[in-house]
Amino acid sequence: MSKSGFDVCIRGAGIVGQTLALRLGQAKLRVALVDGAPADGPAQRARDVRAYALNQASRQLLQELRCWPEGDAVTAVQHMHVRGDAGGAVRFDAPHSRAIKHQPGQTTAPAADALAWIVDVPALEDVLRTALRFQPGVELVSAAVPATLTAICEGKASASRAELGVEFDHFDYPQHAVATRLRSSQPHGGTAHQWFCGEHILALLPLGGAQGDEYAVVWSTSVAQAQRLVALDEAAFVAELHAIATGAAAAGPAPHGQGLAPHTQFTLSAPRARWPLRLAQARQWAGPIPGNPGAAWVLLGDAAHTVHPLAGSGLNLGLGDVAALADALLQRPAWRSVADQRLLRQYARQRKAALLPMATATDGLQWLFWQQQPWLQGLRNWGMRGFSASGPLKHWVMQQAMGGAAALPMPPGLAAARAQQQAPRP
């Protein structure tokens, strides 16, 4: 333990940092959580229009910490409709089976009762912050303090990562994301929707519980289009979204029964936010602290990696980092320090291996649907239709998405055009 008495100093008090603090604090480690935000109440904070699609692993972690939001703050996704831009479509439905078959040699565990859970961000943050107030092993501090291990959870613009000189390889997509919320004239029925329409990737994620009528919107498009969408008046913005959601803006016919009904009406229920999209990964995820023998640092969440949001996997990857690092620290022999480089390298290898397929898939899908060549448009929609009818393959992908890194199943047109894809980026 460091002279300060802290085993771990966590820099960054977002969802990933708070979850790590609770997990380690409950295991009797002495944790300092750096939180420079003012101690205002939930009503005083600006409303966050985002919502997270969490998978079974993330849900289980939060439930074990007793930090799973209740009531209408969580909406189970029972169905997922993904539509291409020329008639391609895939539909996923939550299975009725109560058991998931794992890899050979693994035991069978209870299945998720939904494809994913859409969680309201402010509600989750409030639950975590309340839990921290009752966790004696965690001390909130306003600035970084010495500790045996420094866990950096500051996000993609991490100042601590930069101070350590860690290179952050990145590819900036020619896209921004626009987020807001909508109320619909029809209940969502626990159904999430995603459309690939030209340069637009539009997702509607159900909110407000099983009987709700609100959606979280994540609309990825070109930088110029995103700027224009944010500047539009509400009526014009809703009209353009409605055209995509009902198939009126598609290059081909909307698949029968897959588009929202044309008479569905939307109204904005939150302001619009916009941010740039990036694929990024730190070259080094852990290491010794220069000039401080016996101390080390480690990266988690967006400080270590970011991916395209089209699969809603960002927070799931970050919470996966939390689970992996906590397991490594809490299962170590008593004689081994929390700053042990062997443990931290093992964590980094494990999480890089988990990140690779998700980063590759989201990057590939973004590239595949960004291209507007007619032959490629036909190929990707053909791939989606073939996958939708594939039976066992579709079922396997859905199970992986529910229990693995992905938050929501993704359209598989990438497989059909993999040979045409650009060389891997960072």
Domain that holds residue 326: 6-100+107-367
Residue position matching structure tokens 């993330």: 58
**Distances in Å between the alpha carbon of 293 and those of 173, 321, 337, 338?**
40, 25, 12, 13
Of the chain, the percentage scoring pLDDT greater than 90 comes to 54
Instruction: For residues 293-315, give the mean pLDDT.
Output: 86
For the chain, how are helix, strand and coil distributed in percent, rounded to 5?
35, 25, 40
Does residue 422 sit within a domain? no
**pLDDT band for position 87 (cuts 50, 70, 90):** low
pLDDT at 356: 78
pLDDT at 105: 43
The bridge status of strand 149-152 relative to strand 296-299 is parallel
Residue position matching structure tokens 């290491």: 287
Tell me the per-residue pLDDT of 307-335, one tens digit each, with 9 for 90 and over: 877 666 789 999 999 999 999 999 999 89
Give 362's strand partners.
Answer: none
Does residue 292 sit within a domain? yes
pTM listed for this prediction: 0.82
pLDDT at 273: 93
**pLDDT band for position 83 (cuts 50, 70, 90):** confident
pLDDT at 417: 34
Give 180's strand partners.
Answer: 217
- Quote the CA–CA distance of 64 and 31 in Å, as a whole number: 19
pLDDT at 401: 54
pLDDT at 331: 92
Identify the CA nearest to 183 among candidates 241, 129, 134.
Answer: 241
Does residue 426 sit within a domain? no
pLDDT at 314: 80
Does residue 219 sit within a domain? yes
Residue position matching structure tokens 């109560």: 98
| Residue 356 DSSP one-character state | H
Tell me the per-residue pLDDT of 30-45, one tens digit each, with 9 for 90 and over: 999 998 765 444 444 4
* DSSP letters for 218-270: EEEEEHHHHHHHHHS-HHHHHHHHHHHHTTTT-SSPPPTTTSPPTT--EEE-S
Count of Cβ atoms closer than 10 Å to residue 148 Cβ: 23
pLDDT at 310: 64
- Burial class of 313 by CB neighbour count within 10 A (0 to 12, 13 to 18, 19+): buried
Question: Are 140 and 290 in contact, with CB atoms under 8 Å apart?
Answer: no
Amino acid at 336: R
pLDDT at 302: 94
Q: Is the pLDDT of residue 179 over 70?
A: yes
Q: Within 13 Å and on the Cβ side, how many CA atoms surround 92?
A: 30
Full strand arrangement of the beta sheet holding 116-120:
51-54, 116-120, 74-77
Does residue 391 sit within a domain? no
pLDDT at 262: 85
The bridge status of strand 191-197 relative to strand 200-207 is antiparallel
pLDDT at 374: 59
- Quote the CA–CA distance of 212 and 8 in Å, as a whole number: 41
Looking up residue 256, the CATH number of its domain turns out to be 3.50.50.60
Tell me the per-residue pLDDT of 185-221, one tens digit each, with 9 for 90 and over: 999 999 999 888 878 889 999 999 989 999 999 999 9
Does residue 59 sit within a domain? yes
Does residue 337 sit within a domain? yes
Does residue 381 sit within a domain? no
Q: What's the full length of the chain, in residues?
A: 426
Question: Are 84 and 96 in contact, with CB atoms under 8 Å apart?
Answer: no
3-class DSSP state of 305: strand
Instruction: For residues 152-159, give the mean pLDDT.
Output: 94
Average pLDDT, whole number, for the chain? Answer: 80
Question: Are 281 and 355 in contact, with CB atoms under 8 Å apart?
Answer: yes
Of the chain, the percentage scoring pLDDT greater than 70 comes to 72
Instruction: For residues 387-407, give the mean pLDDT.
Output: 46
Domain count, the chain: 1
pLDDT at 19: 97
Tell me the per-residue pLDDT of 99-152, one tens digit each, with 9 for 90 and over: 444 444 443 444 568 889 999 999 999 999 999 999 999 999 999 999 999 999
Structure tokens at 374: 């007619």
